[in-house]
Amino acid sequence: MNIGILGAGQLGRMLALAGYPLGCSFRFFDPTPPSAVSAVAPHMCEHYSNTEALDSFIKGLDAVTYEFENVPVEAAEYVASRVALQPGIEALRVAQDRFAERECFRKLGIPVVDSIELPAVQANESHKGIVSKFGVPCVLKARRLGYDGKGQAVVRSEDKILEALSTLKGQDVIVERLVEFTRELSIIAVRGRSGDPKFYPLIENVHHQGILRTSRCPANRVGESLQQEAEDFATRVLAHFSYVGVLTIELFEVNGKLVANEMAPRVHNSGHFSIEGSETSQFENHIRAVMGMPLGSTRPKGSSLMVNLIGVRPDAKKLLAMPQVHFHWYGKAPREGRKVGHVTAVFKGSEERDSKAQEVLACARGT
Amino acid sequence: MNIGILGAGQLGRMLALAGYPLGCSFRFFDPTPPSAVSAVAPHMCEHYSNTEALDSFIKGLDAVTYEFENVPVEAAEYVASRVALQPGIEALRVAQDRFAERECFRKLGIPVVDSIELPAVQANESHKGIVSKFGVPCVLKARRLGYDGKGQAVVRSEDKILEALSTLKGQDVIVERLVEFTRELSIIAVRGRSGDPKFYPLIENVHHQGILRTSRCPANRVGESLQQEAEDFATRVLAHFSYVGVLTIELFEVNGKLVANEMAPRVHNSGHFSIEGSETSQFENHIRAVMGMPLGSTRPKGSSLMVNLIGVRPDAKKLLAMPQVHFHWYGKAPREGRKVGHVTAVFKGSEERDSKAQEVLACARGT
């Protein structure tokens, strides 16, 4: 099966590596060179608005998917009118817009953080008034194109409102209550064409400066009801979009209950552990779904710790000398704040994982 | 790290897929198009005697390895004089020649089957006399270029000697006692640059018409002493060649003892199970060795059954619907006797594996 992927980052790279054993071929489309996929598959480096290039991209493809939720909807629509695109356009459209995403969650009865909309924000007194009325501490988030903490500003006191507004000047914004969460979790779900979804166990995530640093799966202290709650949320979203593929919902745990933060209509950084830590990885399951194949088991093979490698290349020799460690390098040039690889260590149980975590972290960070 | 691979079959394909996560790039050299690697890496399709093409192949490479033991030694020597080639030339040379291989095993004190040499065989009466004197039943094997049962003829009665000789006309041959073995096993070993070898558990193999059909790892009924015996054999061969990479020795079990049949200076079909069935696959460990990285754990993750897909494409949907099954398709056109994919099923224990084996086999063979 020939599969085209819109976007050409490490998520796409890992999708291709998971799909090759199944006999698939891959081709990527993305305007930014050089890419994390260059070494593993052909990358057509053209603008999304270039329909001639899109025509040539989709020629001979059996299916198209995306690995990046900011693919322009128009380009996705153009592709979808010519070849099967999964997940569908609506999921993409909603996931691109934090406001639409909140509305969608609300409509589906999924708890979200209080928020209001602030269209085309200007750093002036009237906007300051609205934010002030909403109350601090709060977070301003660009409605569109935010990722890895970009397009966000936390406002902790009223006198900082104008300053925060000015960083998002000219963009549509949502103003959101700053949540006092116990921890951040994510649920990764996958749905095939036949509709029967599967779920990975809840993942516990730690972010720093808006960038995911570590994930643990299964998360500690997750009762059946918390897992069930997360699966219920995901089930509603999957059904709503007649979704095919992997869907991720980022969640906050607040007073023992879950609140949805955002969704990603794609494989997700918090699911990288699944390459070695699950019977079937999120990448393989996404490809299986797109191919119309039965989904594989999402059962964990142990207790996994995933550490993102950000901005620097660690000493691979030291890392690989640790028996539980699997090293992933994306072939990108290291620069500050850039995800250039990750490390997954799989242990028999969560106690062993948590006792060895510092050692893995120190080795991954070269400290 | 940029790695070049001589040969372009499924072993090369799986080497590349194992090496990409480590950040390696791959390039293949082999005269036969189209190849199993075409979808996953650039393939330079030129004759091994074309040194200009070899020059352009090795340009920018950090290391070269091979995935096929019949790469002409001259080409390997040409490459090795310009860039690090692992495993080395001597292992390649010996593995290409069944007679030299036997001599090598004998010299290292590794038991082999009785055999004699029969240079440039003619199907005439004098050669018939030699074979007759050696005794039947016996096997005639071409010294060179045999694989998957090709270049072999079993002689069960004296009146069939001439007929058997005629099938190997003009080739150097060894005549070998037909072994009454209990079963066929293989040991896969890997040695890094620092020299400390690691071993996978003994694998039990079933061949039919000279082609490997199934492998089980760990093999049943393997005591510590049998495993130790196999590891001792491999250790001697590895040390003899100052070997770097994966080495496979095919063995017969005869009256509870091991007899070496042949060696392959490369990753091996009987080790495919290790992709899902071992903590580190044979492919990743070979790449780690070639890169000069520490080797990964060879510990089994369960009890694996590997079934080769030969000549036909099975119903992937049915296979993938079995929860323990992993499907591998090499992207080759099916034709009779050709290995076009494999299936690995990993179970918690060997009893479960053996009780489910028929079901997996039936599904893989579409029967």
How many Å lie between the alpha carbon of B275 and the closest alpha carbon of chain A?
10
pTM score, two decimals? 0.95
Calpha distance B64→B68 (Å, rounded): 13
| Residue of A11, A14, A17, A40 for testing the chain B interface, max B β-carbons within 10 Å | A40
State yes or no: pLDDT of A148 exceeds 70: no
Looking at residues B205-224, what average pLDDT do you find? 95
> For the segment A161-206, what is each residue's pLDDT rounded down to a tens digit?
888 888 888 888 899 998 899 999 999 999 999 888 999 999 999 9
How many Å lie between the alpha carbon of B39 and the closest alpha carbon of chain A?
6
Question: CB atoms < 10 A from the CB of B301, how many?
Answer: 18
CB contact (8 A) between residue B294 and residue A279: no
Contacts of A288 in chain B (CB under 8 A): 320
Output the pLDDT for position A147: 63
Q: Taking CB atoms and an 8 Å cut-off, how many pairs form between chains A and B?
A: 73
CB contact (8 A) between residue A21 and residue B328: yes
How many Å lie between the alpha carbon of A362 and the closest alpha carbon of chain B?
18
Contacts of B41 in chain A (CB under 8 A): 40
Looking at residues B91-117, what average pLDDT do you find? 94
State residue B105 phi and psi, 5-degree precision. Answer: -55, -45
Contacts of A327 in chain B (CB under 8 A): 21-22
Residues A1, A23 contacting (CB under 8 angstroms): yes
Q: How confident is the model at residue B366 (pLDDT cuts 50, 70, 90)?
A: confident
Helix (H) or strand (E) holding A130: helix A125-134
Looking at residues A301-306, what average pLDDT do you find? 97
Contacts of B43 in chain A (CB under 8 A): none
DSSP state of A62: S
Using left for φ > 0, alpha for ψ between -120 and 50, and beta otherwise, residue A290 falls in alpha
Looking at residues A219-245, what average pLDDT do you find? 97
> Rounded to a whole number, what is the distance in angstroms from the first to the last CA of chain B?
44
How far lies A64's CA from each of A69, A80, A116, A149, B200, in Å? 14, 8, 35, 28, 39
For chain B, the three-class secondary structure string (H helix, E strand, C coil) is CEEEEECCCHHHHHHHHHHHHHCCEEEEECCCCCCCCCCCCCEECCCCCCHHHHHHHHCCCCEEEECCCCCCHHHHHHHHCCCCECCCHHHHHHHCCHHHHHHHHHHCCCCECCEEEECCCCCCHHHHHHHHHHCCCEEEEECCCCCCCCCEEEECCHHHHHHHHHHCCCCCEEEEECCCCCEEEEEEEEECCCCCCEECCCEEEEEECCEEEEEEECCCCCCHHHHHHHHHHHHHHHHHCCCCEEEEEEEEEECCEEEEEEEECCCCHHHCCHHHHECCCHHHHHHHHHHCCCCCCCCECCEEEEEEEECCCCCHHHHHCCCCEEEEECCCCCCCCCEEEEEEEEECCHHHHHHHHHHHHHHHHCC
CB contact (8 A) between residue B326 and residue A25: no
Amino acid at B364: A
> For the segment A257-290, what is each residue's pLDDT rounded down to a tens digit?
999 999 999 999 999 999 999 999 999 999 999 9
The dihedral sign for the CA sequence B19, B25, B30, B31: positive
CB contact (8 A) between residue A21 and residue B329: yes
Which residues of A lie inside 8 Å of B (Cβ-Cβ)? 13, 17, 20-23, 25-26, 39-41, 275, 279, 288, 293-294, 296-297, 301, 316-317, 320-321, 323-324, 326-331, 341
Omega before B137 cis (within 30°)?
yes
Q: Give per-residue burial for B319-328: e unless 16+ CB within 10 Å, then b.
A: bbebebbbbb
Q: β-strand A63-66 against A2-6: which pairing, if any?
A: parallel
DSSP state of A323: T
Output the pLDDT for position B146: 66
Contacts of B294 in chain A (CB under 8 A): 317, 320-321
Candidate from A39, A293, A316 with C-beta closest to B317 = A293
Contacts of A345 in chain B (CB under 8 A): none
CB contact (8 A) between residue A317 and residue B22: no
Looking at residues B166-183, what average pLDDT do you find? 89
Contacts of B334 in chain A (CB under 8 A): none
How far lies B267's CA from each of A52, B211, B247, B284, in Å? 44, 16, 7, 10
Per the prediction, chain A carries an average pLDDT of: 94
